[in-house]
Structure 1
Amino acid sequence: MCTRILWNTNGRAVLTGRTMDWPESTEPVLTVFPQGLKRDGGKLAGTTVVADNPLLWTSDYGSLVTTVYGAGTADGINEAGLAAHMLYLDDSDPGPRDADRPGLQIALWIQYLLDCAGSVDEALDLLGTFQLVTVGLRGFAATVHVALEDGFGDSAIIECIAGEWQVHHGRTYTIMTNAPAYAEQLRLLEEQVNTLRELGHDEPDSELPLPGNVNPVDRFQRAAYFSSLLPEAADAQQSVAALLAVTRNASVPFGAPYRSGRFATYNTEYRTICDLTGKRYFLELATSPNLLWAELDHFDLAPGAPVMALNPSDPALVGDVSAAFTPCPAPF
C-alpha cells in the first residue's frame, strides 16, 4: 500500500517517485492551490470532524497536489520546492483528543505542511502547532505516516504512534513503504543486507536473491536495492525516466494477492514523480499508457488566483498538461 523513493544524489535534480496502492479508486484529481487560501483543519468534505479548537490557517505557498476522495491531499509539491507524500500505516495513532491543542484532521496533514513550510526543517517546526485527528474515508480509517523532502535533498519520515511523534530526519532516509513502523523497517533492511553478505553477495549481481513479493517489507528492500544502483543520468529527463523505472518496479500488479480482509488486492492505482528542482509534477495512471506532467511555474499562484484542477483519467491526456487545467471551487 504505497512506496516512496527519494533520489537526491544524481547531480541533475532532486526527484521523488511514489506509488499509490489501494483497493479502489481514490478519485485522484490534480489540483493547483494558490497562496492566500483560508483553511479549516476541522472540516472533512464540508463536515465538521474537529468541533473544539480546529487548526485554522492561511496558505503562504501555492502547491500542485493530487487529492484523495476530494477530502484531502495524498501527494504534492509546493512552489518553494517542498514535497510531501501520505502513505498508509496501521500503527498510526495520534492518541486521545486534547482540545487544548489545535486539531488537524489527518487528510489535510500534508496540505497544511505544503501551505505553510518551504523546507523540511520548516515543516518539522510545525509539528508542535497541532494535534492530528484520525478520520475515516470511504470506510477506511485514515491511519497514515508522511514522507517529506525539499529541493536541497533533505528528507524526513514522520510517524505519530501512541500520541508521540517519531521523526527520522536526514538525507539518507530515502525509502518508505508501510508497516512495520519505520525504525523496524530500517532494522529489517540491515538484517537483509547482512544475510546477503553472509551468502557471499558483497556486490550487486543478477543472482542476488532479492525480495520480490508485494508486501511492504519486500517493496522497501527492493526499492532500496534498485535505487542505490541508479547510474548517473545525462540530463533531467533521463533522471526522471530512471527513477520512474524503479518506481514501476516497486509497484503492485493487478491481481497480486495482498492479504485477506475487506479487500484481497491493493494494486497500484497511480505513480507520481516530483521534480523538486524543476518544479514539475508527473503522474502515470496504472490504467493508462500515458505519462502526464504539469509545470508549477506555469500557474498563477498569487492570492486571489483561482484554484485549478484536472481529472487525469481522460485517455487523451499526455505530456505537458499544464494548459488543460480549468478553474474550480476549492475542494477543501
Structure 2
Amino acid sequence: MCTRILWNTSNHAVLAGRTMDWPESTEPVLTVLPRGLERDGGTLAGATVVDDNPLLWTSRFGSLVTTVYGAGTADGLNEAGLAAHMLYLDSTDPGPRDPGRPGLQIALWIQYLLDSAATVPEALDLLDTCQPVPVEMHGFRATVHVALEDASGDSAIIEYIAGERRVHHDRSYTIMTNEPSYDEQLRLLREQVRTVQGLGHDRPSSEVPLPGNVNAVDRFQRAAYFSALLPEPADDRQAVAGILAVTRNASVPFGAPYREGRFHTYNTEYRTVCDLTNRRYFFELSTSPNLLWAELDRFDLSPGAPAMTLHPDDIDLAGSVSARFTPSPAPF
C-alpha cells in the first residue's frame, strides 16, 4: 500500500522515492499541467461529488504528475520544487462534511497543493482553505494521507484521524508507509531501535536484524534503516540509483503474502523518484524493465499551453522521454 522515502541529507540533490502498491492497475498516466488551469475541486471524472461549496482555484504553478484512474493525482512535483505523494491510510477520517468550508474531493488534494504552493510551509498554510472529501474510485474508498517535501529538504506528513488533522512537520520525517497512524509508526520505529541496541548492535552492519516482511510497519522500519546508510553520491546517476535501491527494497513483490482483513497488502505497481533540485521525474513500472524520466524545465508551462501526457505502459519507452509526451486535454 505504498512507501515514501525522502533523501534530504545529500549535498548533491534532494530526492524522494515512492512505491505505488495496489491490487490492480491505477491506469497511471504521466501528465504535464501548465499554469492558469481553472479547477473545480467538487468533480470526480466529470461527475459532481461535492454539491455544496466546492473549492475552486486557478493553478499558479505548472506540474508533472502521475494521475490515478484519470480522476486525480497520486504523485508528482511542480516547477517551484514542491513534491507531493498520496498514500493509502485506512483510518483516514476528515470528519462530517462542513458546508461552510470549501470541499475538495480527496483525489485532487495534492494537485491543489502542487498548483498553489512553492514550499512545504506554503502548502501547510493552504490546509485551512478547504476540507478534503473522501470519494470512491473503482470500488475503493480513497482514504489517504499525504507526504510533502520541497527543494530545501523540508518535509511534512498530513493525516486526518477521527476528524482531527495531524501535521508532522520536520526535515526528520523522511519515511512514510501506511497503517498505523504516523504517531504510532514513529513509536514502533523507536521500539525497534531500542530492541536492536539491546541485542548489542550499536552500529549498522549486516548482522543487524531487520523486519523483512511486506506489511507497512516492516517496510517503514526497513526503509528508515537503509535510507540512513546512503553514501554521498558522486553525480546525478549515483544519487538516483541510491534512492531507487532503497525504494526497490521497500517494494512488494508479486506473490508476496497478502494480508486479508482491515489492512491489506498489495504488490508494487510502479516506483517514482522526484529530483527536486533538478526538477526531474523518474518512473519505473514493475512490469517493464525500463526506467523513464522527464525534465519539467523542457515543457511549456505558460498559461494557455496544452497539457501533455505519456502512457508509461510501453515497452519501447526507456531513458529520457520528455520529447515523447503529446498534447492532450487536461484530465481534471
Runs ≥4 in structure 1, deviation > 3 angstroms? 261-265
C-alpha contact 2:179 2:263 (8 A) present in aligned 1: no
- What residue in structure 2 maps to residue 165 of structure 1? 165
TM-score, structure 1 normalization:
0.99
Instruction: Output aligned runs, 1:145-164, within 5 Å.
Output: 145-164=145-164
Match of 2:74 in 1: 74
Correspondences of 1:125-144 after superposition (within 5 Å): 125-144=125-144
Q: Distance in 2 between matches of 1:331 and 1:121?
A: 28
CA contact (8 A) 1:5 1:227 kept: yes
**Residue of structure 2 in register with 1:198 after alignment:** 198
Partner of 1:218: 218
Moved more, 39-48 or 201-210: 201-210
CA distance in structure 2 between the aligned counterparts of 1:192 and 1:85, rounded to whole angstroms: 26
The residue type equivalent to 2:121 in the other structure is D
Tell me by how many angstroms 1:162 deviates.
1.7
Number of the residue aligned with 1:13: 13
Structure 1 residue matching 2:260: 3-state secondary structure? coil
Structure 1 residue runs of 5 or longer lacking an equivalent are none
- 1:39 matched to which residue of 2? 39
TM-aligned CA distance change 1:139 to 1:58, over 3 Å: same
Pair 1:252-2:252 in alignment = yes
Give the length in aligned residue pairs.
332
2:304 maps to 1:308 = no
Q: Does 1:120 align with 2:116?
A: no
Shift of 1:258: 2.1
Deviations 1:72-121 (A, max 9, x none): 00000000000000000011001100100000000000000000000000
Note the residue ranges of structure 2 that are not aligned, 5 or more in a row: none
Once the two structures are superposed, the pairs formed by residues 21-36 of structure 1 within 5 Å of their partners are 21-36=21-36
Measured in 2, the distance between the counterparts of 1:110 and 1:117 equals 10
Percent identity of paired positions between Structure 1 and Structure 2:
78
SS in 2 for 1:206: coil
Give the distance between the partners of 2:252 and 2:306, measured in 1 at CA. Answer: 36
1:111 equivalent in alignment to 2:111: yes
User: 1:90, 1:179 within 8 Å by CA — same for their partners in 2?
Assistant: yes
Q: CA RMSD in A?
A: 1.1
Equivalent residues in 2 for 1:210-289, closer than 5 Å? 210-260=210-260, 266-289=266-289
Checking the alignment, whether the CA contact within 8 Å between 1:36 and 1:303 is kept in structure 2 is: yes
Per-residue CA deviations over 1:222-248 (Å, capped at 9, x if unaligned) read: 000000000111112211101100100
Aligned residues of 2:273 and 2:282 also touching (Cα < 8 A): yes
CA distance 1:264–1:181, shift in 2 (3 Å): closer
- Separation in structure 2 between the aligned mates of residue 35 and residue 13 of structure 1, nearest angstrom: 25
The 8 Å contact of residues 23 and 263 in structure 1, kept in 2 or not, is answered as no
Deviation at 1:308, TM superposition (A): 0.3
Counterpart secondary structure, 1:284: strand
